[in-house]
A and B are shown apart, each in its own frame.
Chain A
Amino acid sequence: MAQALRISETLENAPVKAKASKVQVFYGAKQALTDIDLEIPQNHVTALIGPSGCGKSTFLRCINRMNDIIDGCRVEGDITIDGVNIYGPGQDVVQLRARVGMVFQKPNPFPKSIYENVAYGPRIHGMAANKKQLDDIVIDSLTRAGLIDEVKDRLDAPGTSLSGGQQQRLCIARAIAVKPEMILMDEPCSALDPIATARIEELIDELRNNFTIVIVTHSMQQAARVSQRTAFFHMGVLVETGATEQIFTNPKDTRTQAYITGRIG
């Protein structure tokens, strides 16, 4: 109980990093999300769960305006990060995506060397004044992503020469190289075996010390393992959100109960 209390207390006291208010998303005439209100606590992992088509990935992609690039997609409502509406006028989307990194379902390293994969972002954002600084960023990012020991002798090898789990950690290194504040993860382990998955989960647990993480996952077990806060989406509605422990031991809504116990999907 002490442990459980400690986690929920840190959750209660955590500052709100991002906040969605009355978010609605339409793909053409079809409404994908209705009135989503959700607070994302800083330096915690928030898991978005729900059956396919429930809108959890759509919501995730609103947080760094990835939906802007989809034709016919319209987002209404506000999403603030540190109190500033990211859909407000004058918001620089490129800058936003540097602050809010993303890791995708399938590892997608650039067809470049391991080094270049990580160096690319910091270079285009002008984060390094010289080669030494860039080297430091690359090494630091690979270290934080828990990949350095496996790649330090072959930084010039193609990123695609790594195993799936290593590629995904490379993508995480690439995401953190530009020093984001938040990292969005869309099913980051669905293409990985259980051991590679456990490595990523351990990594997520470490990364939350420095970043605010939002993860979409099909695996309720993974949500239970990695997150401190869980939000359950169903048919475009946010049904319930709460401390992960509460959602998985005593959900309040019967739909959440039915979903996490395998009765609806």
Chain B
Amino acid sequence: MVSDHIVKSFDDELNQLVSKIAEMGGLAERQLADSITALSRRDEELANSVIEQDARLDILEEDIDAHVIRMLALRQPQALDLRAVIVALKISAELERAGDYAKNVAKRALTLMQTPTVGPAANTIVRMGTIVGGMISNVIDAYLHADTIKAKEVRARDHDVDQIHTSLFRELLTYMMEDPRNITACTHLLFIAKNIERIGDHVTNIAENVHFLVSGENIAEDRPKSDFSSSTIVAVEDKAK
């Protein structure tokens, strides 16, 4: 980014912080991908492994917390360095939360394995998961390369996730109206969709943090909001058509 510090160990500590974030990002991305594969393939073993692996993200977050506190106390970072340290703290919290959602997807995948399949909703969830997984990967790239353009692209991508979530919401409501026996599975699928949508929101926050890290300013323009699931009503007539 900029030239090295006169005190080399300061650079070492900053670089370690960046690698830890990269490691967390990679892990969170894999956790999400695995949870969705577990869902679509009804893979119990994989779902259990996701649930277990979440602890690794928690440990990494604690590690980053301690690293940041140490750097704030001992290095007194300023300007770009101060932003780097604060942003690392915030990003690690977002990734930890993203991991929690992936773990919840895996838990619900285990539950769904005991119910019959409902329509093609799982395919839509796979598509959503692929987009959000790509967003995690891209936002970590943007972070590692201080790339604000890429960060903005990631943020814009969340629009697609929101749209899929809204349409999936309608779809699942319809299945439930068609046959009450679908309600259990559809409710879990709704939560899964919501979890993935929330991961997208956390990734968006990371993108905004990357922008702040590089420029020192918050992203000015408002993000288009496309998640209308909270105001969606599927009327009974819809079903009749």
Contact = CB atoms under 8 A, between A and B. Distances in A.
Interface of A: 1-4, 195, 198-199, 201-202, 205, 221, 224-225, 244-245, 248-249
Given A3-B67, A195-B6, A198-B7, A245 B13 contact: no
Interface residues of B, number: 17
B70 A249 contact: yes
B73 interface: yes
Contacts of B73: 224, 245, 248-249
A224 B7 contact: no
Contacts of A195: 6
B76 interface: yes
23 contacts: A1-B62, A1-B63, A2-B63, A3-B13, A4-B67, A195-B6, A198-B6, A198-B7, A201-B7, A202-B6, A202-B8, A205-B7, A205-B9, A224-B73, A224-B74, A224-B76, A225-B74, A225-B75, A244-B74, A245-B70, A245-B73, A248-B74, A249-B70
Interface string B73-86: 11110000000000
A225 B13 CA distance: 12
Given A3-B16, A4-B67, A195-B6, 5 more contacts: A205-B7, A205-B9, A224-B76, A245-B70, A249-B69
Contacts of A201: 6-7
A41 B129 CA distance: 53
B211 to A, nearest CB: 28
Contacts of A221: 76
Contacts of A4: 66-67, 70
Contacts of B7: 198, 201-202, 205, 225
Give the interface SS of chain A, mostly helix, strand, loop or mixed. helix
Interface string B45-75: 0000000000000000011001101100111
A249 B70 CA distance: 7
Contacts of B67: 1, 3-4
Given A3-B67, A4-B66, A245 B74 contact: yes
A120 B40 CA distance: 79
A245 B69 CA distance: 9
Contacts of B16: 3
Nearest to B7: A202
A202 B11 CA distance: 12
A199 B74 contact: no
Nearest to B74: A224
Nearest to A5: B66
Interface in B1-36: 5-9, 13, 16
Top 8 A-B pairs, shortest CB-CB distance: A1-B66, A198-B6, A248-B73, A224-B74, A202-B7, A1-B63, A249-B73, A202-B6
A205 B9 CA distance: 8
Contacts of A205: 7-9
Contacts of B9: 205
Nearest to B76: A221
Which of B16, B69, B74 gathers the greatest number of chain A CB atoms within 10 Å? B74
A224 B10 CA distance: 12
A52 B98 CA distance: 50
Contacts of A1: 62-63, 66-67
A202 B16 CA distance: 18
A146 to B, nearest CB: 10
A245 B13 CA distance: 14
Nearest to B6: A198
Contacts of B69: 249
Contacts of B62: 1
Nearest to B75: A225
A201 B9 CA distance: 10
Interface in B128-173: none
Contact of A3 (B8, B70, B76): B70
A239 B9 CA distance: 29
Nearest to B71: A3
A248 B73 CA distance: 6
A199 B7 CA distance: 7
B89 to A, nearest CB: 14
